[in-house]
């Protein structure tokens, strides 16, 4: 399963949900309304100075559905390029080795790759597993 988070201006909420219907995806989601923050599209604070607000959708889905969701969101982004629409994907949880089978030495086994810790990643500049991309855009969506 893949977790997708979509954060967008409230003005395009209906468009995104309509695009989900068209792609036959996103039937199950959690919605957060009245989201405030500052992104690359500028502040959204819901006040007199920056009156716009965002919303967010969190969706857990399989990879095939995630691709449909990305197509739907890319369609809306093309239609409304200045509305601040972002999609974030997280990989599934990393399976932990049970405590009874953990190695006692600091050396990795020959059958198991060494774990990349956040500290080691920071030292080497490598990405941690949580930073690794899950979904690669198709040729049609990467042309955006």
* pLDDT tens digits for range 84-98: 999 999 875 444 445
State the DSSP H helix or E strand holding residue 103, giving kind and residue range, or none if neither.
Answer: none
Asked if residue 10 is part of any domain, the answer here is: yes
Predicted confidence at residue 41, as pLDDT, reads 87
Full domain range(s) for residue 33? 2-100+130-142
Number of domains in the chain: 1
Token readout for 92 is: 């599934």
CATH number of the domain residue 46 falls in:
3.30.70.120
| pTM listed for this prediction | 0.63
Answer yes or no: is 116 within a domain: no
Burial of 17 (0-12, 13-18, 19+ CB in 10 A): middle
Burial of 89 (0-12, 13-18, 19+ CB in 10 A): middle
Q: How far apart, in whole angstroms, are the C-alpha atoms of residue 77 and residue 85?
A: 6
pLDDT value of position 52? 94
Between 120 and 92, the higher pLDDT residue: 92
Judged against a pLDDT cut of 70, whether residue 135 lies above it is answered with no
Confidence of residue 9 (pLDDT cuts 50, 70, 90): very high
- Residue 43 domain-assigned (yes or no): yes
Q: What is the pLDDT of residues 44-87, one digit of tens each?
A: 999 999 999 999 999 999 999 999 999 999 999 999 999 999 99
Cβ-based neighbours of 121, under 8 Å, separated by 6 or more:
127, 128, 131
- pLDDT score recorded for residue 98: 54
Q: Do the domain assignments include residue 27?
A: yes
Structure tokens at 42: 């500028």
- In the chain, the percentage of residues whose pLDDT exceeds 70 is 63
Report helix, strand or coil for 111. Answer: coil
Pair 57, 29: CB distance under 8 Å? yes
Q: Residue 141's pLDDT band (boundaries 50, 70, 90)?
A: very low
In a domain, 105, yes or no: no
Looking at residue 68, what is its pLDDT?
Answer: 96
Q: What is the 3-state secondary structure (H, E, C) of 115-137?
A: CCCHHHHHHHCCCCHHHCCCCCC
């Amino acid at each position: 399963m893949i977790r997708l988070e979509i954060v967008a201006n409230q003005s395009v909420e209906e468009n995104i949900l309509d695009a989900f219907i068209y792609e036959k995806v996103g039937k199950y989601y959690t919605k957060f309304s009245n989201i405030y923050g500052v992104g690359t599209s500028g502040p959204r604070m819901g006040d007199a100075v920056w009156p716009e607000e965002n919303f967010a959708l969190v969706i857990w889905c399989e990879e095939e559905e995630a691709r449909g969701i990305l197509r739907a969101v890319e369609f809306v982004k093309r239609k409304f390029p200045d509305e601040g629409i972002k999609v974030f994907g997280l990989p599934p949880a990393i399976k932990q080795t049970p405590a009874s089978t953990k190695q006692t030495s600091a050396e990795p086994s020959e059958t198991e790759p060494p774990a990349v810790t956040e500290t080691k990643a920071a030292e080497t500049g490598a990405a941690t597993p949580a930073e690794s991309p899950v979904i690669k855009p198709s040729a049609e969506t990467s042309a955006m």
